[in-house]
Amino acid sequence: MYIFELFLTMGIIITTLYILRKDKFLLFLAVFGLIIPFFQFDIPNWLFNILSFPLFIYVKLFVPKNMGGSYYYSPFIIIPLSMYGWILIGLIIKTIYSYFNK
């Protein structure tokens, strides 16, 4: 089951990066979102909470209390969630930027 989830997750990530190859800003944010979960233990906690804003929102709103070490913190969930969260933030920034540049 985990091998299937691994291939599915990797396929989703590679397909997303392939689709975003023409938009450099969103591609940068997608790669940034892929890298951020691995910085968890290398930077201070307050800075990690700022840089991993989508994960911070996920943990505060959707993960039940006292669920340490559960499926909620699986890399199959955390890594794509971080990547797509930053893509969503980038789309919001692009929309606001285009709205003010009319």
* Chain-centroid distance, C-alpha 50: 13
pLDDT of residue 96: 94
Q: What is the mean pLDDT of residues 20-40?
A: 86
> Helix 75-100 and helix 24-35: axis angle, to 10°?
150
Give tens-digit pLDDT for 44-60: 777 777 888 888 888 88
Residue type, 95: T
pLDDT of residue 79: 85
In the structure, what pLDDT confidence band is assigned to residue 87 with cuts at 50, 70 and 90? very high
pTM of the model: 0.79
pLDDT > 70 in the chain, percent: 96
Domain count across the chain? 1
